[in-house]
Structure 1
């Protein structure tokens, strides 16, 4: 496959897959926090905010498991079959989610969101696809463009949700089904068949022995995991609960949340155009500065009124996009050659999923007191991550065999 077609296919794959994941975010907060009763927010008589937090948690649990397994699975069986299976399976998951909303069945909704998350953990496979086949400056640019495609998916998803809600609450999920089936068709048409490696190894052995969390045995990668987990806890705490802030402070509904989210993602997407350009200096030093900027913006949202808070939400995407243009490429160059790009990118994706779980659980409790508390916790964790990154960099061992300096 030509390099340009490879990059285009991976980016379009990322765009279409995140459209499906992003659709529910403008829909869920009003269902659980607008004061009206339904079968979802009255399940077992539990507080609606607690049910909302649990609904946010279950999808990342699936993502956590999927991200830890799918990257190494793609190293073993090839990117093409893994992406085909996960795209079709996630489409089925969104169809079941639509049925759960129609039935107002909270248990079915939870099961569907878990299964969908399990199969949407394939972002690490798309990153590994580029990291495996490209190198040097082109790989850095391609990974930055891939991040831009993921951001564009988060932009398109809320926009589609806001535009199609007038046709019914399940319509956005059927759009997700169509998008993911298109992903499967794209994969089948553009990616060539791959010969499995280690043919005598069963899928269960791969899942047991080669999952991404095995990399935590390496001290340097364990340090990376802790730092990125703290950073992504701040990011996911912000992303999961600023829609609830928009419901409580400016009084926005699903369409208002969708437009604010679209503006934020548009800024992130535009930022990736310049974030992928060459720069001088030490990459982790730049990443630290951007992490501090993210922490400052989340902290500012906590103490802001409606107008300034909305501005904080929108501009948050600028430093976050620069951070994400640096860290994955650094990890691919330093660790991917020795440990496999699928496993390394899977570890990065796993931190995001675990952060979603931890912050959704924390938020389910803290929002019962005040939504701003979970945002404040996120700002503190992001700032700690930026501070700790310097010590991790100094303590790193000699570069591992096969990695770039």
Structure 2
């Protein structure tokens, strides 16, 4: 993929935004499970006399709940106002809310912490804007590779975030979030230099397309049956993924006796597997439809989660790490296909929809898992396996139907 200087600056800015936002989302995972499950009994870990497992679920749900609301509007907003303006604003506000998070941890104020995580999530919906920028500047031939680059930095965020959270915890719970605020301020400069500003994206230049892109990311679901199908199957798969993301740290604590440092290392190995999967995604043999590849990746995810229901500690830890491979393959192919199949809705909107679905799933699994983990964290993995398996089945049948329709259309055109 050959890039000119402007494209390189754009790619650097987009990947930096993605990296920092993902670090912000990932940092709490190795911190919160040990704090709530093994931490001291105080007003933070036992707020209002509630079980720490339930408080952990609410804390985990707060950030994706904010991303959910942010992604509903930030993608479409960037279609109309321009990508750079939205990115700079959200990064500045995100720096402030990370400082608020640090203050809440330092003061041991649970409610303020949840509010601050929610507010930070509102700004982190800008990942949809970053994806839309790549979709704006790459055609179908290079889109998978472009998204693979973006995903590599996103996985780097999932690697660095837990490492920062796990290893900086010794200097205080608030330190990682304070450093995230500083990094976001620095990222504003990269966006200002690398992202073109002042104009709306090319996909929103006509009155017709502007009207089509008005409203939130959910508006097209009313009239587009295919988009509704995408929403349901992507929601099912993401419930499986977030069962792993949200509760693998708790699995490490309860089933393997890990501390935050151990969780950070397992997460780092998993993210390394994601980087390998990203490299493989651009080299996989072509199938008759991209959804077949995503279906196979979803099936592999479901199988890994099912094994976590029964696996002993050491094999289970290896499974958690290895699941990074199918996650990366899925995340390279699905956004590229969606950006081509549903481009008429606006790239900011359709990329925002993917982020919205992830957040819906994250909130649902965080809350459901908070209840299931009162019994056993393995129950959360069983729920995730069921959801990912259903998604794999639906994706395979959708791919077969679209491939058949494509062959019929090609035959009719040559008749």
TM-score by length of 2: 0.90
Worse-matched range after superposition: 136-145 or 286-295: 136-145
1:289 is aligned, of 278, 289, 296, to 296
**Could you tell me which residue of structure 1 aligns to residue 37 of structure 2?**
33
DSSP-derived class of the 1:169 partner: coil
Conserved? CA contact 2:76–2:352, under 8 Å: yes
1:211 and 2:203 are equivalent in the alignment:
no
How many residues matched? Answer: 395
Return the offset for 1:364.
1.3
SS of the residue corresponding to residue 210 of structure 1 reads coil
Summarize the Cα distance change of 1:385–1:239 in structure 2 as closer, same or farther, 3 Å threshold: same
Q: 1:69 is matched with which residue: 69, 73, 78?
A: 73
Residue 332 of structure 2 aligns to a residue whose secondary structure is: helix
Conservation of the 8 A alpha-carbon contact between 2:290 and 2:399? no
User: Which residue, 364, 371, 377 being the options, matches 1:371?
Assistant: 377
Asked if 1:133 corresponds to 2:140, the answer is: no
TM-superposed deviation, 1:166? 1.9
How far is 1:136 from its partner?
2.3
Q: Counterpart of 2:413?
A: none
Contact 1:141/1:277 (8 A) holds in 2: no
Matches of 1:13 and 1:113 in 2, distance apart? Answer: 18
Distance 1:248 1:131 in 2: 42
CA shift digits 1:1-53 (9 cap, x unpaired): 62233223212221122122211111100111015312211111011111111
SS of residue matched to 2:45 = coil
What CA distance in whole angstroms lies between the structure 1 residues aligned with 2:35 and 2:186?
Answer: 29
Q: What is residue 92 of structure 2 aligned with on the other side? A: 88
Contact 1:160 1:172 in 2 (8 A): yes
Distance 1:8 1:277, change over 3 A: farther
CA distance in 1: counterparts of 2:127 and 2:160, whole angstroms: 17
Q: Over residues 157-203 of structure 1, what are the superposed CA-to-partner deviations in whole Å (9 max), with x where a residue is unaligned?
A: 1112222222212111112112211221211122222224889x9xx
Residue aligned with 1:303, SS? coil
* Distance change in 2, residues 1:35/1:8 (3 Å): closer
SS class of match (1:369): coil
Work out the CA distance in 1 between the residues paired with 2:400 and 2:215.
28
Secondary structure, in 3 states, of the residue corresponding to 2:29?
coil
Give secondary structure in 2 for the equivalent of 1:25. Answer: helix
Once residues 20 and 111 of structure 2 are traced to their aligned partners in structure 1, the CA distance between those partners, rounded to angstroms, is 27
Measure, in 1, the Cα distance between the counterparts of 2:26 and 2:395. 30
Of the three residues 12, 18, 36, the one matched with 2:16 is: 12
Partners of 1:25 and 1:182 in 2: how far apart? Answer: 24
Q: Can you give the 5+ residue segments of structure 2 that lack an aligned partner in the other structure?
A: 407-415
Task: Report Cα offsets for 1:334-360 as digits up to 9, x if no partner.
Answer: 111x11100011111111000001101
Q: Which deviates more, 181-190 or 44-53?
A: 181-190
Q: Distance in 2 between matches of 1:102 and 1:35?
A: 15
Greater Cα offset, 1-10 or 268-277: 1-10
Q: TM-score, normalising length from structure 1?
A: 0.93
Q: Is the 8 A contact 2:159 2:271 kept in 1?
A: yes
Separation in structure 2 between the aligned mates of residue 159 and residue 125 of structure 1, nearest angstrom: 26
Aligned to 1:350: 356
* Residue in 1 that maps onto 2:365: 359
* Alignment match, 2:323: 316
1:183 alignment counterpart:
187
* Residues in 2 aligned to 1:24 and 1:386: alpha-carbon distance in whole angstroms: 30
Contact 1:20 1:180 survives alignment (8 Å): no
For residue 40 of structure 2, give the secondary structure of its aligned residue in structure 1: coil
Partner residue, 1:48 = 52
